[in-house]
Amino acid sequence: MRKLRKKRWVKPKSKGTAKTAKKSKIATVMSGTIKKEYLESRNVCRVTFKLPRIVATDAKCVRIVGDFNNWNAYDNPMKKLKNGNYTATLELESGREYQFRYLIDESRWENDWNADKYVKTPYGDGDNSVIIV
């Protein structure tokens, strides 16, 4: 069972095996469709982004674009799951903020509904999602 702490879901630690002792060096934080795993061994956060199928109905391709890839629209394609949702996992340097958006079929931009915050785009035509790691 998950516990609510500071408006974020935290995966409770399991007890016992050597396998879980290895996992204890990873702190997991869930915020809606974004899952953050902080790796203590490196200054890295493994972030899993999930885009619900309702946002990308009938999409042929979905990509996550942002500061982490210099806003390259061809990097970081998201994988379509059997249930219709899209997912991508990236390793991001901890202690930073990254602006990002989802690009659907190379023509439509969407924000993450559960981003840590939003900021205006440099073009003034909307907002970018922001993840803080």
Residue 24 clears pLDDT 90, i.e. is over it:
no
Buried b (16+ CB within 10 A) or exposed e, 21-56: eeeeeeebbbbebbbbbbeeeeebbbbebbbeeebb
Confidence of residue 26 (pLDDT cuts 50, 70, 90): low
More confident residue, 1 or 74: 74
Residue 7 clears pLDDT 90, i.e. is over it:
no
| Per-residue pLDDT tens over the stretch 91-104 | 999 999 999 999 99
Residue 69 clears pLDDT 80, i.e. is over it:
yes
Q: What is the mean pLDDT of residues 50-67?
A: 91
Report the domain count for the chain: 1
Domain CATH for 48: 2.60.40.10
Q: Which structural domain range is residue 117 located in? A: 3-132
- Per the prediction, the chain carries an average pLDDT of 81
Instruction: For residues 103 and 91, give the distance between their C-alpha atoms in angstroms, rounded to a whole number.
Output: 19
**Taking the model in full, what pTM does it have?**
0.75
Q: What is the mean pLDDT of residues 85-94?
A: 94
Residue type, 117: K
